[in-house]
C-alpha cells in the first residue's frame, strides 16, 4: 500500500503524467512509435483503473457499495474494449492485390428484396462493366421480392435472374438458393446498394491463387453521409462512423487471419462454403457467423484494404438503429450457438477477434450505467465515486488526452474519443433492449430486418419517438439533477463527490444532446443522391458556348461552375462531360437538359468566376449507361 501511495502521490504522479503525455504527443507529431502510443495509452487507463479501485470506491453502505461496483463494472468493460482495440490495432497488415494466374470463373450475386430499381441499376452497371474476361464471370440478381420489374431490369443488362418461392433464411437463404443453381469457382457477393468499381474482380481474384484462401473481403465505403454527418451538418469535418473499423481494425484482424466477411463486397471460394453447408441461417448475422465456421476449418481469409466498391449508409436514425440492433442480436446468438471460445479449430488470435466483435455489441448496459450513475448522487444522495474533480481530471483526463492523440494517429483521423462516446450513447438504449431479449431466449428464431435504403423524405422527422424516449427521459433527469446539485453546491451544503457528479452529469448531458440532435432526420428532396465529382465540362445554350467544371453529379442532374455566365433559369441547354478516367468507356458523355437554378458568382480569388447553374431533373443523357458510368468512375 505504501508503494501505491507513493506512486499516486504528489509530485511523482504529476511528473509521471506529464512525461507519458509528452512522449505520446511527441511520437504522434513525429509520425512514429505507433505501438508505443498504443501501449502508453493502455498503461494510463490501467493506472486510472487501479486508482479507482483503491481510492475511490465508496463502501459506506450496501446501496452505495452496489452503485459503486456497478459503475466500476462498466469501466472494466471499457478497459477490456480498449485492450482488444490495442491488440487489433497493434500491427495491421497492409495487403496488396496480385494479378491472377488462372482466371477462375466467378458468379457475382446481387441480393435485393424491396429496394428501389434505381439502386439496383447502379450496382448492375458496376457489375457488368468488370475488367475481367467476359466469359469468366456471370452476374446473378437474387430477387427475394419476386418482382417482375426486377426481372426485366436484370435482363436489360444481360444478367441472370433467380427468385424463390419463399424467403426462409432471409439473405443467407437467398444466397444458398443461388449457390445450388450456379457453378462458378468463386462467388462475389454484393448488397443491392454496393456498386463495384470496374477493377473489383481484377484486384481481388488473384488472392485466390493461394489454395488456402477461402474468402476475400474489401472495405465498405459510402457515397452518402451517415446520420451523424448529415443530421448534424458535419459532412465536411466528420468522418464516416464505420471508417475506423474498415480502415484500421479489419486490417489488424487480417494480421491474425481473423478478418471476417462483412455481408457485401467480398468473394468466396465455393468449396469451403459447401463444406460448412453454405451461408449460415441460424443467426441474423450470417456474414460473421459464416466466416467463423470457415476459419474453424483451417482456411485462410484476406482483407484487401482498398476501396473497390461504394454503398449507401442507413439514411435515417430509425434505419441506423434497426441495422445495429440486428447486428447486436446476431452476435449474441452466435455466442450461444457457436461460441468462439469453445469452437474447435480456431486459433487463439481468431478466438480473441470474434470475441471482440461480440464484446463490442454488449456496450448497451455499461453505457446506460455510466449515463445514469450521476443521477444517484444528484437526486438520491448516493455517491458511487468518492474523488475530487482535480483527481478525476488528473487520472482520467490524462488517459482521455492520450486517447485523443492515439486515435488521431492510429485511425489516420477517422475517429476521435468524443465521437466514439456519442455513437455509443445514440445506440445504448436500443442495444441494451436487444441484448436483454436475446439473452432471455438466444435460441429463438429472430426475423432478419432489412435495412431500408433509398427512401425519400421531404420534411424533417423525429424518427420514431419511442426510440428516443429513453434518451429524452435520461436527459430530462440529468437536467433536473444538475439544477438540484447546483442548488446544494451554492447553499454550501455539498457532500463528498458532489462536484464530480456535477461534472459527470454535465458531460453526459452533452453526449445525450448531440445524440438526440443526430436523431432528427433532415429532409431530402432529391430522388437520387448528388456526389462530389470534379470534371471538365462544356455547356451550349442559345448559340453560346462556355467551358466549366462539374461540382456535383447524379443520374438526373448536375451542379456546374461555368467560366462565362450564359444561362438563365429555365433555359434549355446542351451539356458534355469530358470523361478523363480513360479505360474502354467513351470519353465524352453528353446530355440535354434545362437550367433549373442559377447561383451567384464566386469571389475574385476562386478559379471559376462566372455564375454556376444547376442542370436539374430535366437532364436526359443520350446514352444513359455511359453517363452513369461517369458517376461510378
Q: What is the dihedral of CA 450, 436, 71, 248, to 10 degrees?
A: -30
Q: In the 8-state DSSP scheme, what is residue 18?
A: H
User: What would you report as the CA-atom Rg of the chain, rounded to the nearest whole angstrom?
Assistant: 27
Full 3-state SS string of 533-556: CCCEEEEEECCEEEEEEEEEEECC
- Which single residue is written with the C-alpha cell 458534355? 576
**Contact at 8 Å (CB) between 279 and 290?**
yes
CB count, 10 Å around CB of 199? 16
Beta-bridged to residue 474, according to DSSP, are none
Render 307-356 in DSSP notation, one character per residue: --EEE---SSHHHHHHHHHHHHHHHHHHHHHS-TTT-TT--HHHHHHHHH
Residue 289 to residues 176, 282, 286, 414, Cα–Cα distance (Å): 14, 9, 5, 27
Q: Is the peptide bond before 11 cis (omega within 30 degrees of 0)?
A: yes
C-alpha cell read off for 78: 471499457
Q: Half-sphere exposure of residue 151, counting CA atoms within 13 Å on the CB side? A: 8
Region label for 103, one of left (φ > 0), alpha (ψ between -120 and 50) or beta (otherwise):
left
SS3 626: helix
- Which single residue is written with the C-alpha cell 454488449? 362
- Say which of 287, 318, 338, 554 is annotated catalytic: 287
Residue 319 to residues 71, 153, 519, Cα–Cα distance (Å): 31, 26, 11
Q: Rounded to whole angstroms, how far apart are CA atoms 446 and 305?
A: 32
Name the strand (E) or helix (H) holding 64: helix 62-89
**Contact at 8 Å (CB) between 478 and 374?**
yes
- Which single residue is written with the C-alpha cell 444513359? 624
CB count, 10 Å around CB of 298? 13
Q: Is 61 a catalytic residue?
A: no
Residue 342 to residues 93, 294, 318, 320, 351, Cα–Cα distance (Å): 27, 15, 35, 32, 9
Residue 171 has phi, psi (to 5 degrees) of -60, -45
- Say which of 143, 144, 318, 521 is annotated catalytic: 144
Q: Rounded to whole angstroms, how far apart are CA atoms 82 and 38?
A: 10
Residue whose C-alpha is closest to residue 374's, from 54, 57, 67: 67
Q: Is 287 a catalytic residue?
A: yes
Provide the H-helix boundaries in 411-464: 417-440
C-alpha cell read off for 385: 465515486
Beta-bridged to residue 188, according to DSSP, are 108, 267
Give the residue numbers annotated as catalytic, written as ranges: 144, 287
Amino acid at each position: 500500500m505504501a508503494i501505491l501511495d507513493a506512486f499516486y502521490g504528489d509530485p511523482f504522479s504529476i511528473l509521471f503524467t506529464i512525461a507519458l503525455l509528452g512522449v505520446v504527443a511527441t511520437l504522434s507529431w513525429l509520425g512514429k512509435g505507433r505501438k508505443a502510443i498504443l501501449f502508453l495509452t493502455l498503461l494510463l487507463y490501467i493506472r486510472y483503473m487501479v486508482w479507482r479501485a483503491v481510492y475511490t470506491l465508496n463502501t459506506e453502505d450496501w446501496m452505495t457499495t452496489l452503485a459503486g461496483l456497478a459503475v466500476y463494472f462498466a469501466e472494466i468493460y471499457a478497459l477490456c474494449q480498449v485492450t482488444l482495440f490495442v491488440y487489433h490495432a497493434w500491427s495491421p497488415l497492409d495487403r496488396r492485390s496480385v494479378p491472377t494466374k488462372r482466371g477462375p470463373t466467378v458468379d457475382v450475386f446481387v441480393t435485393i428484396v424491396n429496394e428501389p430499381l434505381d439502386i439496383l441499376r447502379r450496382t448492375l452497371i458496376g457489375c457488368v462493366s468488370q475488367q475481367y474476361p467476359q466469359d469468366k464471370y456471370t452476374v446473378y440478381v437474387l430477387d427475394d421480392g419476386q418482382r417482375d420489374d426486377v426481372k426485366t431490369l436484370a435482363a436489360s443488362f444481360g444478367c441472370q435472374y433467380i427468385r424463390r418461392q419463399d424467403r426462409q433464411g432471409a439473405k443467407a437463404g437467398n444466397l444458398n438458393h443461388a449457390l445450388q443453381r450456379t457453378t462458378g469457382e468463386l462467388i462475389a457477393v454484393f448488397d443491392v446498394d454496393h456498386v463495384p468499381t470496374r477493377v473489383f474482380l481484377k484486384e481481388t481474384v488473384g488472392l485466390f491463387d493461394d489454395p488456402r484462401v477461402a474468402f476475400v473481403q474489401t472495405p465498405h465505403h459510402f457515397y452518402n453521409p451517415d446520420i451523424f454527418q448529415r443530421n448534424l451538418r458535419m459532412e465536411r469535418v466528420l468522418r464516416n462512423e464505420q471508417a475506423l473499423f474498415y480502415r484500421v481494425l479489419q486490417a489488424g484482424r487480417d494480421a491474425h487471419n481473423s478478418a471476417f466477411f462483412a455481408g457485401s463486397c467480398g468473394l468466396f471460394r465455393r468449396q469451403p462454403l459447401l463444406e460448412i453447408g453454405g451461408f449460415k441461417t441460424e443467426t441474423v448475422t450470417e456474414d460473421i457467423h459464416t466466416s467463423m465456421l470457415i476459419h474453424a476449418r483451417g482456411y485462410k481469409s484476406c482483407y484487401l484494404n482498398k476501396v473497390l466498391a461504394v454503398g449507401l449508409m442507413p439514411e435515417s436514425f430509425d434505419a441506423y438503429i434497426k441495422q445495429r440492433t440486428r447486428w447486436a442480436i446476431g452476435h449474441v446468438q452466435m455466442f450461444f450457438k457457436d461460441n468462439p471460445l469453445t469452437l474447435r479449430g480456431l486459433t487463439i488470435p481468431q478466438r480473441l477477434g470474434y470475441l471482440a466483435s461480440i464484446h463490442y455489441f454488449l456496450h448497451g448496459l455499461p453505457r446506460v450505467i455510466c449515463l445514469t450513475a450521476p443521477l444517484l448522487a444528484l437526486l438520491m444522495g448516493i455517491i458511487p465515486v468518492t474523488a475530487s474533480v482535480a483527481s478525476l481530471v488528473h487520472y482520467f483526463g490524462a488517459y482521455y488526452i492520450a486517447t485523443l492523440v492515439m486515435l488521431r494517429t492510429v485511425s489516420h483521423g477517422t475517429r476521435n474519443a468524443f465521437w466514439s462516446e456519442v455513437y455509443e450513447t445514440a445506440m445504448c438504449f436500443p442495444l441494451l433492449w436487444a441484448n436483454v431479449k436475446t439473452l432471455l431466449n438466444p435460441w429463438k428464431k429472430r426475423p432478419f430486418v432489412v435495412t431500408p435504403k433509398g427512401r425519400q423524405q421531404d420534411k424533417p422527422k423525429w424518427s420514431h419517438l419511442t426510440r428516443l424516449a429513453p434518451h429524452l427521459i435520461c436527459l430530462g433527469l440529468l437536467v433536473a439533477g444538475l439544477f438540484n446539485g447546483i442548488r446544494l453546491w451554492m447553499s454550501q451544503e455539498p457532500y463528498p463527490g458532489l462536484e464530480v457528479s456535477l461534472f459527470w452529469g454535465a458531460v453526459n448531458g452533452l453526449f445525450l444532446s448531440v445524440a438526440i440532435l443526430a436523431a432528427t432526420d433532415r429532409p431530402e428532396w432529391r430522388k437520387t443522391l448528388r456526389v462530389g465529382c470534379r470534371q471538365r465540362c462544356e455547356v451550349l445554350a442559345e448559340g453560346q458556348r462556355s467551358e466549366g467544371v462539374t461540382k456535383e453529379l447524379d443520374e438526373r442532374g448536375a451542379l456546374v461552375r461555368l467560366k462565362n455566365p450564359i444561362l438563365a433559369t429555365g433555359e434549355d441547354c446542351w451539356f458534355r462531360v469530358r470523361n478523363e478516367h480513360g479505360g474502354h468507356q467513351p470519353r465524352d458523355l453528353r446530355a440535354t437538359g434545362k437550367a433549373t437554378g442559377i447561383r451567384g458568382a464566386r469571389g475574385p480569388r476562386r478559379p471559376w468566376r462566372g455564375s454556376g447553374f444547376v442542370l436539374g431533373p430535366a437532364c436526359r443523357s443520350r446514352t444513359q449507361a455511359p453517363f452513369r458510368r461517369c458517376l461510378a468512375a
